[in-house]
Amino acid sequence: MTERWERDLQALREVRAPRSVDDRVAQGPRTDRPAIPSARRRVTAMAAAFAIAVAGTLLVVKAFDTSNSHPANVGSWPGGTNVLPVPAPGRASPALLADGSPVFVVTTEKGATHVLSAVSTHNPWGVNYLVGWCPGSQTFEDPFHGSRWFATGTYLGGPAPTGLVPYGFTVLPGGQLRVGQPLSAPARGVEVGTPGGFCGGVGTSGMVMPAGVPPSAIRSSPQAATRVPTTSWIAVQGRLMVTSSSARLCQGADRACRNGAPVLGLDTKGLTAQLTGRHIYTSRRWIWLAHVQGPSLVDLTATPTAPAATIKYLPLFFSGTIGWHIQESGRAPLPWGSAAWASTVRFNPADLAPNAPAIPPTTIATLPPNGIIVTARVGPSDYDPSNGAYPPGALDGLDLSKARVRGPTAEEPPGNYTVMEIPNGYVLVRVYFGTAMPSAALVRQAQTELDTLQIPPVCPVPSGTYAPGLSVASGPPGTQVTVSGPVSYQGMYGTYAVAKEQMQVWWNFQSDNSNRWTDLLPGGATPSPANGGSVTMVTSASIDGACSWQATFAIPDVPPGAYPITVLIVSGPGATGGGSLTFEVTPP
């Protein structure tokens, strides 16, 4: 006798794939669609690498997550301010102006300040996209299409037609400035760098995204949004649907688009040509900035994902000295970060609930006079990911003799006890003593336990660059050559983020402005050979979790000459350039 669940499952047999799948398959794999690069990847540094996001796999972007790393910039919106602080050299701060315009205030490493529009000047088919700031490479990048600009807003590379639009401003006393009117964008000039979108190879997880809009300000009905007359930017969520003659922003899953609003200023013919037969251009979850013009929306601007929302903070742990009880939260998502606890007494079960706070309040409240609890936490308030990768020495300097000594704060249980606190910039350590006057012996005991605090091992930072190298640089056909190098892709705090990656070594690929390495990916154009013969992948290596990689191949039977070797880091559908090398083939 079959059970109900088995019978019910048969309902699924009626399901057929929609016809639109056929058209979509005929279009081939995604390569030139709006590419939102994976936020999970990060490279600690990558001197010789060039990188762009290819084959972005995304229908959907989550934007303006309330838990992003710039809560200070989220005020009532619009209703930001035109008076903004001047950031320190090498920093860029995202902000929303009084009219809701997204901008960056940036101070270059040389100390010059600029106010730049956060809207990319590359707007294919009339759709605008926001850019992000890459602290490592000191560039602005369009994570959708890979355009890049210097910190000054000057064009660097990629498809953008101009530099970023600058705003006039006046400097005010007290390290502030008042933003004026937008000026005209500087002309493009020559492409001096490779296209990006991945922060020059560093990955987007460190990218500083434009300032967020509070969720309450995001309108869910495009039609209702157009009924409120305003000259400011509005934020609206919806699915962009296009036909060859019109475009509409639609609410939710309603394909009839009853609460939708027309969108003007788009090249609908160009957009529909992208879709061949379909009308859906984005997921319904996209969040857009736009201006209202009559019953329509104009200046439609896509907002990229807030990468910080996907960061998992590194799981700290105490290896623990004998007699201590230890607990760790494991890898925790924002906004709490990860925490590890050690205590001389057993933790109260109430503190171990899944949604427990970052400190064990019940255990603290009942701590005996000789009891100690050490807590350590990594989280957004302790470490700003835009500062770069979490360095291997991030646990240095946790010295209780230099700790701030205080009583309980409002978030801690009341009582007459002492807290020692050390924020070292990466980790926040708090030590709770069961007494108001902890003895030197108790502090030493706490320090011994604190010294067992650990983070998972990280790949060492290479002394040179992350560029790959060759075991020999020249030789006749048949020469065995090993290509090797350090692996630079790491998670936010040194853990390995991408499980399955592969290094591919390509032979004889002519790489220049018109022949990008994207040609080497499935679905790309036919790659152009640099010399006679063909472009071939000569070897590859899995770099799953490793800190270095190497792969060996035999030089093909080719005429003498200089042959380029291109290294590609392939991860699922996307890839990144891993550097270029040259091999000199000598006569046999």
Partner 1 sequence: MQMAEGELTIGAGHDFDSIFREERDGVFRTMLAFTGGRADIAEEATAEAFARAFANRLNLRDPVAWIYRAAFRIATDEVRRDRRRDELGESELPDASPALVDLIAALRKLSPNQRAAIVLRYVGGLETAEVARRMGISTPTVRVHLHRGRTHLRELLRTEEND
Q: Please pick, from the candidates 501, 555, 577, 578, the single residue that binds partner 1 as defined by CB under 8 A.
A: 501
The neighbouring-strand residues paired with 18 are none
Question: Binders of partner 1 among 57-116, rule CB under 8 A?
Answer: 57-62
Least Å distance, CB 12 to partner 1, is: 5
The secondary structure of residue 130, as a DSSP letter, is B
Stretch that binds partner 1, among 120-128, 134-142, 489-497, 499-507 (CB under 8 A): 499-507
Q: Please pick, from the candidates 34, 35, 36, 342, the single residue that binds partner 1 as defined by CB under 8 A.
A: 36
Least Å distance, CB 501 to partner 1, is: 7
Q: Exposed (0-12), middle (13-18) or buried (19+): which is 147, by Cβ within 10 Å?
A: buried
Least Å distance, CB 285 to partner 1, is: 6
Task: Based on the shown chain and the rule CB under 8 A, indicate whether residue 178 belongs to the binding site for partner 1.
Answer: no
The neighbouring-strand residues paired with 540 are 504
Task: Based on the shown chain and the rule CB under 8 A, indicate whether residue 16 belongs to the binding site for partner 1.
Answer: yes
Task: Based on the shown chain and the rule CB under 8 A, indicate whether residue 29 belongs to the binding site for partner 1.
Answer: yes
Stretch that binds partner 1, among 163-171, 201-209, 311-319, 537-545 (CB under 8 A): 537-545
Q: Please pick, from the candidates 15, 256, 410, 440, the single residue that binds partner 1 as defined by CB under 8 A.
A: 15
Helix, coil or strand: residue 277: coil
CA distance 523 to 175: 51
The secondary structure of residue 540, as a DSSP letter, is E
Please write down the long-range contacts of 108-111, taking CB distance under 8 Å and 24 or more positions apart.
108/138, 108/151, 108/152, 109/138, 109/151
Angle value at C-alpha 274, between 141 and 518, nearest 5 degrees: 50
CA distance 555 to 535: 13
Task: Based on the shown chain and the rule CB under 8 A, indicate whether residue 441 belongs to the binding site for partner 1.
Answer: no
| 30 vs 248, beta carbon nearer partner 1 | 30
Task: Based on the shown chain and the rule CB under 8 A, indicate whether residue 9 belongs to the binding site for partner 1.
Answer: yes
Query: How many Cβ atoms are within 10 Å of 185's Cβ, its own excluded?
Result: 18
| 424 vs 552, beta carbon nearer partner 1 | 552
Give every CB contact of residue 524 below 8 A, 6+ residues apart in sequence: 31, 518
Give every CB contact of residue 367 below 8 A, 6+ residues apart in sequence: 345, 373, 417, 432, 433, 434
CA distance 105 to 86: 7
| 14 vs 512, beta carbon nearer partner 1 | 14
311-340 burial, b at 16+ Cβ within 10 Å, e below that, comes to: bbbbbbbbeeeeebebbbbebbebbbbbbb
Q: Exposed (0-12), middle (13-18) or buried (19+): which is 1, by Cβ within 10 Å?
A: exposed
Residue written as token pair 């490793």: 546
Task: Based on the shown chain and the rule CB under 8 A, indicate whether residue 12 belongs to the binding site for partner 1.
Answer: yes
Give every CB contact of residue 124 below 8 A, 6+ residues apart in sequence: 145, 159, 270
- Please choose, from the candidates 402, 233, 197, the residue with its C-alpha nearest in 3D space to the C-alpha of residue 305: 197
Stretch that binds partner 1, among 22-30, 90-98, 256-264, 288-296 (CB under 8 A): 22-30
Stretch that binds partner 1, among 23-31, 113-121, 156-164, 204-212 (CB under 8 A): 23-31
Give the type of residue at 163.
G
| 295 vs 545, beta carbon nearer partner 1 | 545
Q: Please pick, from the candidates 500, 513, 559, 562, the single residue that binds partner 1 as defined by CB under 8 A.
A: 500
| 53 vs 316, beta carbon nearer partner 1 | 53
Task: Based on the shown chain and the rule CB under 8 A, indicate whether residue 270 belongs to the binding site for partner 1.
Answer: no
Task: Based on the shown chain and the rule CB under 8 A, indicate whether residue 47 belongs to the binding site for partner 1.
Answer: no
Q: Exposed (0-12), middle (13-18) or buried (19+): which is 419, by Cβ within 10 Å?
A: buried
Task: Based on the shown chain and the rule CB under 8 A, indicate whether residue 283 belongs to the binding site for partner 1.
Answer: yes
Site string for partner 1, 310-329 (x = CB under 8 A): x-------------------
| 117 vs 237, beta carbon nearer partner 1 | 237
Stretch that binds partner 1, among 120-128, 153-161, 434-442, 540-548 (CB under 8 A): 540-548
Q: Which tokens belong to 513?
A: 């402005």
Q: Please pick, from the candidates 121, 152, 305, 343, the single residue that binds partner 1 as defined by CB under 8 A.
A: 305
| 395 vs 505, beta carbon nearer partner 1 | 505
CA distance 100 to 134: 22
Question: Count residues contacting partner 1 (CB under 8 A)?
Answer: 52
Task: Based on the shown chain and the rule CB under 8 A, indicate whether residue 544 belongs to the binding site for partner 1.
Answer: yes
Give every CB contact of residue 584 below 8 A, 6+ residues apart in sequence: 473, 474, 475, 561, 562, 563
Question: Binders of partner 1 among 504-523, rule CB under 8 A?
Answer: 522-523
| 182 vs 573, beta carbon nearer partner 1 | 573
CA distances (Å), origin 229, targets 213, 251, 405: 19, 19, 55
| 280 vs 461, beta carbon nearer partner 1 | 280
| 3 vs 512, beta carbon nearer partner 1 | 3
Stretch that binds partner 1, among 405-413, 415-423, 475-483, 538-546 (CB under 8 A): 538-546
Contact 323, 334 (CB under 8 A): no
Q: Please pick, from the candidates 108, 452, 479, 502, the single residue that binds partner 1 as defined by CB under 8 A.
A: 502
Task: Based on the shown chain and the rule CB under 8 A, indicate whether residue 11 belongs to the binding site for partner 1.
Answer: yes
Task: Based on the shown chain and the rule CB under 8 A, indicate whether residue 250 belongs to the binding site for partner 1.
Answer: no
Task: Based on the shown chain and the rule CB under 8 A, indicate whether residue 1 belongs to the binding site for partner 1.
Answer: no
CA distances (Å), origin 248, targets 238, 262, 462, 573: 9, 4, 51, 30
Task: Based on the shown chain and the rule CB under 8 A, indicate whether residue 32 belongs to the binding site for partner 1.
Answer: no
Task: Based on the shown chain and the rule CB under 8 A, indicate whether residue 573 belongs to the binding site for partner 1.
Answer: yes
- Which residues of the shown chain bind partner 1 in the complex (CB under 8 A)? 3-6, 8-18, 20-22, 24-25, 27-30, 36, 38, 57-62, 252-253, 283, 285, 305, 310, 500-502, 522-523, 539-542, 544, 551, 570, 572-573
